């Protein structure tokens, strides 16, 4: 499938899938190509609604700060439009977060992010991409095969004639059929890495949350000791998404009664109290396709020009870490930079290597944490295990008031800093100090959750 003919700027770009990764890729290609055609198998809703092709659309989505910056780079003004449509801004330093070591301190400025439902996010981005010059989204169009046709690509669809393209970008997500298409073309298979904790989510939307609730959310982190966790986030229209998380036999159920009982089991009563005083406005939505899977296409020899893979089709993450959309946006920024420059033979393989570099840090974060769970298969290499142990030590320092540890963890989590910052001399010194003096007092339960604390039962009067 490879050739040695000098590469030319693509005149026709075909994106397989109107996923978030596909929309980002279309936005990146729109400024440098004459025509961008997005082929989407679903019929897309005209308003912000969940759709069949996005089974996780009813679950909460955390948009990391790096991803919001990348999106603003691709589609300037997106942040303000999200706000205009009801997205809820908050500083991550104010978000109550219960770790395995205790509550993180609140009130320290970190990163301002936006909370909204996935349908609102996707619908807003899709409208903006559709408005770009030269971009067309063809709905109800299922791609059936892909083959090299001289120097171009022939994309066959279930209905209608095939489409010719100079550049094809596979953004079809976890269900990508690219491995089959490459095998049919006689190409070597890409190595695949997988880590799966057998995690499950259950989410319900609520209204009429108590007005005394001053925080815009709360996270009760799942740990290898508890195997369960949960979160609540305020979204547009004064609604709240409340989620239960568990792995293996502890995955939350689909029924409303079981969902409520599950929240009662969490280490803190905040979520159970929240839903007790709120009004459910949806059924319980369950999602269990949560494994990490990475295709190392950058390692395939003789990778052909004019073919790229982005988003979950390249690397799918456990959604609990909120990395997928951010990584896809960062890949799109790289794509735009490359397409804007003079292209040379091998440009797509070099770009895949850059994508692999973008993926490496979030992949390491997700898999090193997931491999700690007894429900995961596989084991950590010694360097990964040692690094994870150090990161957890920093998390404990943060809980006990070390502001540098708190800031570094936040920067790396939002993909705004290098893990090398974990080894700042001041952090190493702090770690040595606690071995001598012990940890200081942990942060208290955030006052913003006071409305979500069950009243202390009054003692019964002594019997006569």
Examine the pLDDT at 56 and tell me if it is beyond 80: yes
- Kindly report, residue by residue over 391-442, the tens digit of the pLDDT: 999 999 999 999 999 999 999 999 999 999 999 999 999 999 998 898 889 9
The CA distance from 152 to 357, in Å, is: 27
Predicted pLDDT at 122: 97
CB 24 within 8 A of CB 172: no
Per-residue pLDDT, averaged over 338-361, amounts to 93
Predicted pLDDT at 55: 85
The CA distance from 178 to 170, in Å, is: 8
Examine the pLDDT at 195 and tell me if it is beyond 80: yes
User: For the CA atoms of 299, 301, 305, 310, what is the dihedral angle to 10 degrees?
Assistant: -20
The CA distance from 71 to 69, in Å, is: 5
Examine the pLDDT at 3 and tell me if it is beyond 60: no
Residue with the bigger pLDDT between 9 and 364: it is 364
Examine the pLDDT at 61 and tell me if it is beyond 50: yes
Alpha carbon 63 to its chain centroid, in Å, reads 7
E strand intervals along 158-291: 163-165, 167-170, 192-195, 199-207, 217-220, 228-235, 239-247, 279-280, 285-287
Rg (CA), the chain: 24
The CA distance from 439 to 427, in Å, is: 14
Mean pLDDT, all residues of the chain: 92
Examine the pLDDT at 291 and tell me if it is beyond 60: yes
Domains 12-61+117-195+291-367 and 199-287 share a fold: no
Examine the pLDDT at 6 and tell me if it is beyond 90: no
Residue with the bigger pLDDT between 38 and 385: it is 38
- Kindly report, residue by residue over 74-112, the tens digit of the pLDDT: 999 999 999 999 999 999 999 999 999 999 999 988 999
By the 10 Å C-beta count (0-12 exposed, 13-18 middle, 19+ buried), 261 is classed as middle
Cα separation values, 291 from 123, 182, 219, 294, 329, Å: 26, 23, 21, 10, 21
What would the CATH number be for the domain defined by 12-61+117-195+291-367? 3.50.50.60
Q: Where are the domains of the chain?
A: 12-61+117-195+291-367, 199-287, 382-437
Q: How confident is the model at residue 383 (pLDDT cuts 50, 70, 90)?
A: confident
Q: Show the tokens assigned to 187.
A: 């190409």
Predicted pLDDT at 412: 95
Per-residue pLDDT, averaged over 154-158, amounts to 96
Q: Is the dihedral of CA 403, 406, 408, 411 positive or negative?
A: negative
Predicted pLDDT at 454: 64
Pick the CATH number of 199-287 from 3.40.50.2300, 3.30.1180.20, 3.30.70.2450, 1.10.630.10: 3.30.70.2450
The CA distance from 273 to 264, in Å, is: 9
Q: How confident is the model at residue 8 (pLDDT cuts 50, 70, 90)?
A: low
Alpha helix segments (H runs only) across 228-269: 256-264
The CA distance from 95 to 104, in Å, is: 9
The CA distance from 154 to 336, in Å, is: 23
Examine the pLDDT at 375 and tell me if it is beyond 70: yes
CB 140 within 8 A of CB 42: yes
Per-residue pLDDT, averaged over 375-385, amounts to 85
- Kindly report, residue by residue over 223-267, the tens digit of the pLDDT: 999 999 999 999 999 999 999 999 999 999 999 999 999 999 999
Q: What is the pTM of this model?
A: 0.93
- Kindly report, residue by residue over 109-127, the tens digit of the pLDDT: 899 999 999 999 999 999 9
Helix (H, G, I), strand (E, B) or coil at 214: coil
The CA distance from 413 to 425, in Å, is: 20
Pairing of strands 135-138, 35-39: parallel
Residue with the bigger pLDDT between 322 and 457: it is 322
Per-residue pLDDT, averaged over 359-378, amounts to 92
Name the residue among 176, 177, 151, 173 with its Cα closest to residue 164.
Answer: 151
Per-residue pLDDT, averaged over 375-379, amounts to 85
The CA distance from 140 to 25, in Å, is: 19
Examine the pLDDT at 317 and tell me if it is beyond 90: yes
């Amino acid at each position: 499938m490879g050739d040695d003919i000098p590469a030319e700027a693509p005149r026709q770009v075909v994106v397989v899938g109107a996923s978030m990764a596909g929309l980002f890729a279309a936005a990146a290609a729109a400024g440098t190509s004459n025509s961008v055609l997005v082929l989407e198998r679903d019929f897309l809703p005209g308003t912000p609604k969940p759709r069949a092709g996005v089974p996780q659309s009813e679950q909460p989505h955390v948009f990391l700060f790096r991803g919001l910056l990348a999106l603003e780079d691709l589609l300037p003004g997106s942040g303000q439009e999200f706000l205009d449509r009801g997205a809820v801004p908050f500083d991550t330093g104010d978000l109550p977060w219960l770790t395995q070591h205790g509550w993180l301190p609140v009130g320290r400025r970190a990163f301002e992010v936006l909370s909204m439902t996935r349908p609102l996010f996707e619908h807003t981005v899709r409208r903006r991409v559709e408005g770009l010059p030269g971009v067309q989204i063809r709905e109800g169009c299922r791609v059936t095969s892909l083959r090299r046709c001289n120097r171009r690509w022939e994309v066959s669809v279930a209905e209608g004639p095939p489409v010719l393209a100079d550049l094809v970008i596979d953004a079809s997500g976890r269900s990508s059929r690219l491995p089959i298409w490459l095998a049919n073309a006689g190409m070597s298979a890409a190595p695949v890495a997988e880590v799966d904790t057998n995690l499950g989510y259950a989410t319900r939307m609520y209204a009429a949350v108590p007005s005394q609730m001053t925080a815009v959310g709360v996270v009760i982190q799942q740990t290898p000791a508890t195997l369960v966790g949960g979160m609540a986030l305020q979204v547009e229209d004064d609604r709240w998404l409340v989620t239960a998380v568990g792995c293996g036999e502890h995955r939350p159920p689909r029924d409303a009664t079981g969902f409520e009982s599950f929240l009662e089991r969490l280490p803190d009563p905040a979520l159970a109290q929240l839903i007790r005083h709120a009004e459910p406005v949806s059924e319980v939505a369950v999602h269990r396709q949560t494994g990490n899977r990475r295709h190392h296409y950058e390692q395939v020899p003789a990778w052909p020009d004019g073919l790229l893979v982005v988003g979950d089709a390249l690397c799918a993450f456990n959604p609990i870490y909120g990395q997928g959309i951010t990584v896809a946006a960062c890949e799109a920024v790289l794509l735009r930079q490359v397409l804007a420059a003079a292209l040379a033979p091998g440009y797509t393989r070099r770009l895949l290597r850059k994508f692999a570099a973008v993926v490496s840090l979030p992949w390491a974060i997700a898999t090193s944490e997931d491999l700690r769970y007894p429900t995961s298969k596989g084991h950590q290499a010694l360097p990964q295990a040692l690094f994870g142990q150090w990161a957890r030590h920093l998390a404990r320092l943060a809980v006990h008031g070390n502001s540098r540890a708190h800031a570094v963890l936040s920067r790396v989590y939002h993909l705004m800093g290098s893990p090398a910052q974990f080894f700042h001399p001041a952090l190493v010194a702090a770690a040595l100090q606690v071995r001598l003096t012990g940890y200081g007092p942990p942060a208290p339960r955030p006052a913003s959750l006071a409305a979500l604390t069950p009243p202390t039962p009054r003692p019964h009067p002594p019997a006569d």
